[in-house]
Amino acid sequence: MPRPRLLLLFLSHLFGFISIIAGQGRPNIIIILSDDQGWGDVGFNGATDIPTPHLDRLARDGTIFRAGYATHPYCSPSRAGLMAGRYQQRFGHENNTPYGHDDPEAGLPLDQTMLSEVLQAHGYATAAIGKWHLGDFPKFWPNQRGFDYWYGMYGGGMSYWGDQSAKSPPMDRILRNGEPVPFDEITYLTDDFTAEAVGFIEREKNNPFFIYLAYNAPHGPIHATRDYLDDTEHIEDGKRAAYGGLVVGLDQGVGRVVRKLKDEGLYNNTLIFYYSDNGAMRNGASSHPFRGFKGMLFEGGIRVPFSITWGDRFLAGAILDEPVSALDIFPTTLAAAGIEPPEELALEGLDLTPMLTGQSTSLPARELYWRVSGGAGYAVRQGDYKLVHSIFKPEPFLFNLRTDPYEHVNLAAAMPEKFSELNELYAAWNQHNVEPKWEDPHFANRDNEVEGRESHIRKAMAGEKK
């Protein structure tokens, strides 16, 4: 959005925002989190093959952030950063929780205060619906972490039909407040999660509520209904068409939630965040036009679909290029709800309300940081410049994202001073981190990933004349 328009909207949006804080009604809050959805998988970022009309309409009702970032390129730590409002490296939740483990401490540490706990303490009715992935043991489950109601899975993935493997633990299934949901009550998880969110709105429509609606779509396995696949029939790439069916189901689910809010007269006073927990997986997903994918610190692994909507309280129809982070959701939510953040939370994001109300046309200068596998890979973004130490590449990188947004040109050798500056910033930030509390279950895939890429290149060169 051009800055003159931001300035013209300043007075109307500022007045509306002040009226809410002055006591005309606390906003309802919904965080809608998609799973492994690429930047290029929504129409509001330019996708033309997978139809996402409901997501596009929601985004146009608010602000689209072209440079919205997840805090990590994998699911569990990304969610930990969101819910604690701090870099997950500060408290050791840096890796996905282990598979098939018996580590009772593998989860978002109990000494970290979650957004849900703050909102619950201030009178919000709270619900966690969908994928949790913040600890497999009951002490980490949503009902112990500030949520009045919970419907979903505690782990990182499941059949969309609710099937359970014979080798799965007895509780590794869809749960309602910690109790198994009968299999015959499960239809298709995306639809079930949508129905639960709509039902919670119905029950709590007369109270301020917070819904953490964490769809597992479009994370694998690639399961979609015939109805949703009908909307991607035109896509000739079979992987893309099948994956697109999951996105269509997600989009229609969001549409049903928004419709319920509008039917109840709640939409204009509901603050809605939408973003993906990390970049695209590769089974038909797309982070186009950006480099890389899930698990990587190139833009395709961490830059995600990101929008914020709040009726006429926040800017509508705005498209901003300012870098924002999922860390910003916690302080922005508290500001919108008129809650002073307790200092002991040590929140590390920014309150975006000055920009979203038109009070400001830019964010305060800051750096954004990422670290994976205890520092085996890391990245820093400062203004237009980005440093990347990838676990998949031997050489470090420096990019200018203004002139080279797709990270093709490595400036590390050409700009040694800037390269050193960003490395020093990372070192200073990293001094306040702790070691991961458990090993990275994905790290073993690194060598296979590198060898697979090199194998394809060797095959492409086969027969080349020397």
* Identity of the residue numbered 41: D
The mean per-residue pLDDT over the stretch 431-442 comes to 93
- Binned at pLDDT 50, 70 and 90, residue 295 comes out as very high
The mean per-residue pLDDT over the stretch 82-100 comes to 94
pLDDT at 251 over 90: yes
The mean per-residue pLDDT over the stretch 51-63 comes to 98
CB contact at 8 A, 265 and 338: no
The mean per-residue pLDDT over the stretch 168-177 comes to 83
Q: Does domain 367-461 have CATH number 1.10.260.40?
A: no
The C-alpha atoms of residue 335 and residue 450 are separated, in whole angstroms, by 44
- Residue-range domain boundaries for the chain: 3-356, 367-461
Q: Within 13 A of 286's CA, how many CA atoms are on the CB side?
A: 20
Query: Each residue of 329-383: pLDDT tens digit?
Result: 999 999 999 999 988 999 999 999 999 999 988 899 999 999 999 999 999 999 9
- pLDDT-above-90 percentage for the chain: 82
Among this protein's residues, is 133 annotated catalytic? yes
From the candidates 54, 75, 93, 219, which is the catalytic residue? 75
- Binned at pLDDT 50, 70 and 90, residue 129 comes out as very high
User: Which pLDDT score, from 0 to 100, does residue 163 have?
Assistant: 78
- What is 3-356's CATH number? 3.40.720.10
User: Which pLDDT score, from 0 to 100, does residue 172 have?
Assistant: 81
CB contact at 8 A, 329 and 349: yes
Closest C-alpha to 34, from 287, 302, 250 = 250
pTM of the model: 0.92
From the candidates 13, 54, 72, 133, which is the catalytic residue? 133
The mean per-residue pLDDT over the stretch 251-277 comes to 98
Query: Each residue of 2-30: pLDDT tens digit?
Result: 333 333 333 334 444 444 444 458 999 99
Q: Are strands 385-389 and 377-382 parallel, antiparallel or unpaired?
A: antiparallel
Neighbours of 381 (CB within 10 A): 23
User: Which pLDDT score, from 0 to 100, does residue 13 have?
Assistant: 40
Q: What phi and psi, each to the nearest 5 degrees, are found at residue 105? A: -105, 5
* Identity of the residue numbered 148: D
